[in-house]
């Protein structure tokens, strides 16, 4: 059998040698892959609906995307993903044709062409200190037919021409210690206002044309303020004192500054809670939030305050929208007994509702966080309104006339973690009619295909063929398939929402916002952390549903309270949720399951206690059985220490806790902090399957791979060279690579790369690790491979030992045997810088591997592992060539056909996940970032199945023709025989 496999594999190798790149034909695009485009959680939105033509909304998001969306369907007209460090601070429209964005802390201003998103100009604004960045595009500030853009960023105020982005004038405020919070423009004068310290309010008046300082005024308040201030058009500011008990109106009328103060308790009776000024900009009005109540306060021209209304249970306020010269409206959303009310009111005419609608929004979307409104003129000349809503789960809705016109699931732009689940098994009893129809369809489809093969298809037929191929209902079925291509991708987003995506076409099967990860009083900033497979029912218990463990935390610090949720993978129902009494620093899924196939997990808390889940006596029993074999290591990147720990005993608080354990420290590796700093660690995937422990060399010799799951790859850089590329000289830079056994703490291999620096991206699989770094001497990126072999098994060479079964190669091994290790390594240049590296994984680990490299261009490149073979030599012998060793080259080739994302881009690529299909040749690949991309790849081509476009009809036709020919020739020969006999 092994022989057969070998013959077969060598044959395959031969096949694959002939075609190193497995590429795709144009008509195969979209057949097995799908691509979804997202933008992320919207921060700012600007509508552009004037004039006729396409109505659109321009948005900037937390994923640093600038996009123009179709207001009718929510589709993306155009989109630009700025870099991760290029945070968008403001977006607006200038001249009616440019979209202006301010980003990177107020230092980069760009103009994009409104219809097609082409960049028109970009100007980089210099400044000396970090500050709040403000983008202000005044409607009526002109200089020579040119609209001015006012930008405050990095302590400087710039006036910029909106035609070409030229800086017309600049005023530096870095010298003054003012924290500028407002830029206000009145026709001729620009006011720059802000606090110095916490109680002095400064106002600078500048000439709008030249930027000259006209006046400098300030007022000292007799108390400290809370820092936040609100501008109330036209000339007032509202500030709270630091106890949040007083509300102060600062009036800057006609160059004089004066202030009025008022106790909040005078405005409202129950003012026990913290008051917060909402940042909605409304003329003559301000909104003050106390507890869950919002006070709308009228600010009179004299600076007097009067409560106009109290609104309970409000969720979101919009900015004011001016619909005519003197009419300003705004919208707010109110929650009342599970109903959502959207109200739009006039700022000046408080009594009348312009619009009051009840909305029905799926409660899975959570609360409404932001609302942007836009108006349109109906046929009867009255005003209609549409509202763009940003929900708690980061989705985006457009509401018009009480209906959701469209929605976008933009939470999927911030995927945090991914796992997979099988689909349910197909039930018996498919109706006959369906089969018949399918049979007819099947035949029709194949006849069409046959036409295509024989090149007699008309253009309409060709379209029909393509449609048939793309829209195969087989793809998106909700049941398991024979080849294991159909699965559920379960993704956790930053908003704490869990989605299940179908691998066939990427549609959302279910989604759930976890209650434990909802924003609440106790949980201010919930974040989703990780997602694990909790229970995967065995083959014989197919009626049970698998379940998923989701770990989330309230807030970014390690000590924030943590919650576990258990979800049913088929339905998305929350089975159980636990709020943990301890913190979560690390989760270790153990390789043991209990009788119900629940996986045992150890959760390590901040105080280095381990907690066992599930908390059942059975799990505890299993752990006790394996007690001495469970180890744990911690990487302290800041201290440069890696420590190994082993379980010691139960925790003893007041009583003995069965499910809590303390550790004893076994070993520690302390790296010299003056010369090395940990920048990357990588270990093997726990679910990786390895087919064989031997590597066969050309001369039938055997090398034994060192296949251990307990090894860790650590990359250390010199502290001086741990910054960006270019900040260190080659002499300062140093990259040290370690391969460490995490049970015993033994350093198995150590290597230094002189003159190299990070960032290091690495992937560990079987017995090899591939890592990517920058070589400062060569000014190029490099990729290195290290293969680790076990020398202590090398003497297993006597064939009689194998014949008689007298070898110890399958007996359990322990790290304490101190195996002898040898490592081979080789480095190659690589053109791209890299965002992520993954390796393909297949069901049995027989198929050769490909590295999947997420390039800087947001594409995924598949590189054969054979290119990263340490045994490549300049002139491989004939035998080595036959084995598939490629002649040595100094750099890795980039074959443009081997981009698995073909012409698409996975914008903002952050991670790649590979999942084995049931079919050995095939691996499923999911790449995520702002976009999602999924495809199937076969590193050694699909040797174990016919390709999708295999023509069954042609085969059938051939068989029929052959049988007919056989029959006819038989009859003919019989006849001839008879005639022969009669002669």
Closest approach of other proteins to the CB of residue 684, in Å: 11
- Cβ-based neighbour number of residue 580 at 10 Å: 17
- Cβ-based neighbour number of residue 277 at 10 Å: 19
DSSP three-state, residue 202? strand
Closest approach of other proteins to the CB of residue 741, in Å: 8
Cβ atoms of 61 and 39 closer than 8 Å: yes
- Cβ-based nearer residue to other proteins, 637 or 953: 637
- Cβ-based nearer residue to other proteins, 312 or 798: 798
Closest approach of other proteins to the CB of residue 16, in Å: 16
If phi > 0 it is left, if psi is from -120 to 50 it is alpha, else beta; for residue 680 that is: beta
Closest approach of other proteins to the CB of residue 637, in Å: 7
- Cβ-based nearer residue to other proteins, 478 or 697: 697
Closest approach of other proteins to the CB of residue 373, in Å: 38
- Cβ-based nearer residue to other proteins, 351 or 810: 810
Query: How far apart (Å, rounded) are the C-alpha atoms in residues 922 and 940?
Result: 9
Closest approach of other proteins to the CB of residue 572, in Å: 24
Query: How far apart (Å, rounded) are the C-alpha atoms in residues 790 and 767?
Result: 10
Cβ atoms of 288 and 226 closer than 8 Å: no
- Cβ-based nearer residue to other proteins, 191 or 631: 631
- Cβ-based nearer residue to other proteins, 618 or 626: 626
- Cβ-based nearer residue to other proteins, 709 or 720: 709
Closest approach of other proteins to the CB of residue 877, in Å: 14
If phi > 0 it is left, if psi is from -120 to 50 it is alpha, else beta; for residue 93 that is: beta
In degrees and rounded to multiples of 5, residue 872 shows phi and psi of -65, 130
Name the token pair of 522.
Answer: 């106790």
Among 530, 521, 458, 522, CA closest to 491: 530
Site of tokens 């060539």: 881
Closest approach of other proteins to the CB of residue 701, in Å: 7
Closest approach of other proteins to the CB of residue 799, in Å: 6
In degrees and rounded to multiples of 5, residue 340 shows phi and psi of -115, 125
Query: How far apart (Å, rounded) are the C-alpha atoms in residues 499 and 493?
Result: 8
- Cβ-based nearer residue to other proteins, 541 or 581: 581
Closest approach of other proteins to the CB of residue 812, in Å: 4
Closest approach of other proteins to the CB of residue 981, in Å: 8
Closest approach of other proteins to the CB of residue 585, in Å: 4
Cβ atoms of 939 and 923 closer than 8 Å: yes
- Cβ-based nearer residue to other proteins, 627 or 970: 627
- Cβ-based nearer residue to other proteins, 560 or 725: 560
- Dihedral sign, Cα of residue 584, residue 590, residue 593, residue 598: positive
DSSP three-state, residue 725? coil
- Cβ-based nearer residue to other proteins, 470 or 694: 694
Distances in whole angstroms, Cα of residue 614 to Cα of each of 552, 594, 641, 647, 687: 17, 9, 31, 17, 20
Among 436, 360, 439, 449, CA closest to 403: 360
Closest approach of other proteins to the CB of residue 393, in Å: 22
Among 44, 45, 42, 71, CA closest to 56: 71
Closest approach of other proteins to the CB of residue 757, in Å: 20
Query: How far apart (Å, rounded) are the C-alpha atoms in residues 693 and 670?
Result: 32
Interacting residue ranges for other proteins, rule: CB under 8 A: 1-3, 5-7, 10-11, 529-530, 553, 556, 558, 584-586, 588-591, 602, 604, 626, 629-635, 637, 644, 681, 683, 686, 690, 692-694, 696-697, 700-702, 704-705, 707-710, 712, 742-743, 796-799, 802-803, 809-815, 882, 980
Closest approach of other proteins to the CB of residue 14, in Å: 9
DSSP string, 866-899: GGG-TT--SS--HHHHHHTPPPP-SB----GGGB
- Cβ-based nearer residue to other proteins, 9 or 29: 9
Query: How far apart (Å, rounded) are the C-alpha atoms in residues 731 and 752?
Result: 13
- Cβ-based nearer residue to other proteins, 629 or 729: 629
Distances in whole angstroms, Cα of residue 444 to Cα of each of 143, 232, 438, 458, 946: 69, 69, 10, 15, 20
Name the token pair of 47.
Answer: 């509508």
Query: How far apart (Å, rounded) are the C-alpha atoms in residues 799 and 973?
Result: 57
Query: How far apart (Å, rounded) are the C-alpha atoms in residues 549 and 566?
Result: 5
- Cβ-based neighbour number of residue 832 at 10 Å: 17
Question: For the range 733-736, what are the long-range contacts, defined as Cβ-Cβ under 8 Å and sequence gap of 24 or more?
Answer: 733/757, 733/776, 734/675, 734/676, 735/760, 735/773, 736/676
- Cβ-based nearer residue to other proteins, 107 or 767: 767
Closest approach of other proteins to the CB of residue 815, in Å: 6
What is the DSSP-derived secondary structure letter of residue 920? T
Angle, CA of 68, 70 and 75, to the nearest 5°: 90
- Cβ-based nearer residue to other proteins, 710 or 951: 710
- Cβ-based nearer residue to other proteins, 372 or 764: 764
- Cβ-based nearer residue to other proteins, 582 or 709: 709
If phi > 0 it is left, if psi is from -120 to 50 it is alpha, else beta; for residue 450 that is: alpha
Closest approach of other proteins to the CB of residue 549, in Å: 14
Site of tokens 């980069």: 108
Among 778, 783, 776, CA closest to 723: 776
Cβ atoms of 824 and 870 closer than 8 Å: yes
Site of tokens 């035998």: 879
Q: Which residues contact 753 (CB under 8 A, 6 or more apart)?
A: 734, 735, 736, 737, 773, 775, 782, 784, 827
- Cβ-based nearer residue to other proteins, 404 or 666: 666
Closest approach of other proteins to the CB of residue 41, in Å: 21
């Amino acid at each position: 059998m092994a022989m057969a496999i070998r013959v077969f594999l060598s044959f395959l190798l031969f096949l694959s040698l002939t075609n190193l790149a497995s590429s795709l034909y144009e008509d195969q695009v979209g057949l097995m892959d799908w691509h979804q485009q997202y933008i992320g959680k919207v921060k700012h939105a600007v509508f552009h609906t004037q004039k006729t033509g396409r109505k659109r909304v321009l948005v900037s998001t937390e994923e640093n995307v600038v996009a123009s969306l179709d207001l009718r369907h929510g589709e993306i007209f155009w989109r630009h993903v700025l870099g991760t460090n290029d945070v968008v601070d403001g977006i607006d429209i200038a001249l009616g044709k440019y979209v202006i964005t301010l980003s990177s802390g107020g230092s980069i201003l760009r103009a994009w062409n409104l219809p097609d998103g082409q960049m028109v100009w970009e100007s980089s604004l210099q400044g000396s200190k970090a500050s709040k960045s403000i983008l202000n595009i005044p409607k009526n500030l002109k200089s020579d037919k040119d609209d001015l853009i006012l930008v405050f960023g990095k302590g400087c105020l710039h006036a910029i021409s909106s035609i070409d982005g030229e800086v017309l004038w600049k005023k530096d405020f870095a010298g003054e210690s003012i924290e500028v919070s407002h830029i206000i423009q009145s026709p001729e004068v620009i006011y720059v206002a802000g606090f110095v310290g916490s109680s002095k309010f400064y106002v600078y008046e500048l000439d709008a044309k030249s930027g000259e300082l006209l006046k400098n005024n300030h007022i000292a308040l007799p108390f400290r303020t809370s820092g936040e201030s609100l501008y109330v058009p036209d000339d007032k500011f509202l500030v709270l004192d630091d106890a949040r008990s007083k509300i102060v109106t600062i009036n800057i009328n006609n160059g004089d500054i004066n202030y009025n103060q008022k106790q909040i308790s005078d405005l409202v009776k129950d003012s026990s809670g913290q008051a917060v000024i909402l940042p909605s900009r409304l003329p003559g009005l301000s909104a003050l939030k106390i507890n869950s109540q919002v006070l709308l306060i009228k600010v009179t021209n004299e600076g007097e305050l009067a409560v106009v209304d109290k609104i309970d249970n409000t969720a979101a306020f919009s900015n004011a929208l001016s619909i005519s010269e003197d009419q300003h409206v705004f919208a707010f959303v109110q929650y009342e007994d599970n109903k959502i009310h959207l109200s739009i009111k006039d700022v000046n005419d408080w009594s009348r509702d312009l619009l009051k609608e009840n909305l029905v929004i799926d409660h899975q979307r959570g609360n409404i966080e932001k609302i942007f409104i836009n108006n349109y003129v109906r046929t009867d000349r009255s005003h209609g309104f549409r509202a763009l809503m940003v929900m708690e789960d980061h989705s985006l809705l457009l509401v018009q006339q009480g209906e959701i016109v469209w929605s976008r699931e933009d939470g999927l732009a911030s995927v945090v973690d991914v796992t997979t689940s099988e689909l349910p098994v197909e039930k018996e009893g498919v109706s006959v009619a369906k089969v018949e129809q399918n049979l007819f369809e099947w035949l029709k489809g194949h006849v069409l295909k046959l036409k295509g093969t024989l090149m007699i298809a008309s253009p309409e037929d060709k379209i029909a063929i393509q449609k048939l191929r793309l829209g195969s209902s087989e793809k998106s079925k909700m049941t398991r398939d024979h080849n294991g291509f159909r699965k559920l991708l379960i993704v956790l987003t930053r908003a704490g929402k869990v989605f299940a995506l179908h691998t066939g076409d990427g549609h959302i099967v279910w989604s759930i916002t976890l209650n434990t990860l909802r924003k609440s009083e106790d949980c201010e900033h919930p974040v989703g952390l990780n997602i694990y497979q909790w229970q995967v029912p065995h083959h014989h218990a197919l009626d049970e549903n698998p379940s998923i463990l989701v770990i989330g935390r309230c807030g970014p610090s390690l000590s924030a309270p943590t919650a576990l949720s258990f979800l049913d993978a088929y339905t998305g129902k929350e089975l159980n949720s636990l709020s943990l009494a301890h913190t979560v620093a690390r989760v270790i899924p153990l390789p043991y399951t209990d009788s119900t196939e629940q996986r045992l997990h150890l959760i390590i808390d901040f105080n280095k206690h381990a907690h066992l889940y599930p908390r059942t006596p059975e799990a505890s029993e299993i752990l006790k059985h394996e007690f001495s074999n469970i180890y744990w290591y911690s990487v302290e990147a800041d201290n440069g220490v890696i420590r190994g720990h082993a379980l010691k005993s139960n925790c003893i608080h007041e009583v003995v806790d069965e499910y809590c354990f303390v550790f004893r420290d076994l070993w520690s590796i302390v790296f010299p902090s003056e010369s090395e700093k940990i920048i990357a660690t990588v270990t093997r995937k726990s679910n990786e399957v390895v087919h064989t422990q031997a590597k066969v060399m050309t001369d039938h010799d055997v090398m034994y791979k060192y296949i251990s799951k307990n090894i860790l790859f650590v990359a250390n850089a010199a502290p001086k060279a741990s910054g960006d590329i270019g900040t260190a000289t080659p002499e300062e830079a140093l990259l040290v690579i370690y391969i460490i056994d995490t049970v015993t703490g033994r350093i198995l291999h150590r290597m230094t790369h002189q003159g190299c620096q990070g960032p290091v991206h690495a992937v560990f699989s079987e017995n090899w690790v591939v890592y990517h770094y920058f070589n400062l001497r060569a000014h190029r990126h490099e990729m290195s491979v290290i293969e680790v072999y076990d020398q202590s098994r090398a003497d297993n060479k006597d064939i009689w030992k194998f014949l008689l079964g007298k070898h110890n190669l399958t007996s359990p091994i322990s790290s304490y045997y101190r195996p002898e290790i040898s490592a081979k390594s080789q480095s190659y240049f690589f053109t791209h810088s890299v965002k992520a590296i993954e390796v393909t994984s297949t069901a049995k680990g027989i198929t050769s591997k490909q590295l999947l490299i997420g390039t800087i261009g947001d594409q995924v490149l598949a590189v054969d592992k054979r290119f990263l073979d340490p045994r490549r030599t300049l002139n491989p012998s004939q035998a080595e060539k036959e084995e598939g060793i490629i002649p040595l080259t100094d750099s890795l080739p980039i074959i443009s056909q081997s981009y698995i994302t073909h012409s698409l881009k996975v914008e903002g690529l952050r991670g790649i996940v590979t999942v084995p299909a049931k079919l050995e040749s095939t691996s499923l690949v999911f790449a995520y970032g702002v976009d999602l991309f999924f495809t199937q790849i076969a590193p050694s081509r699909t040797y174990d199945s016919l390709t999708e476009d295999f023509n069954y009809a042609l085969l059938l036709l051939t068989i029929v023709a052959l049988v007919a020919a056989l029959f006819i020739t038989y009859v003919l020969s019989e006849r001839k025989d008879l005639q022969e006999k009669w002669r």
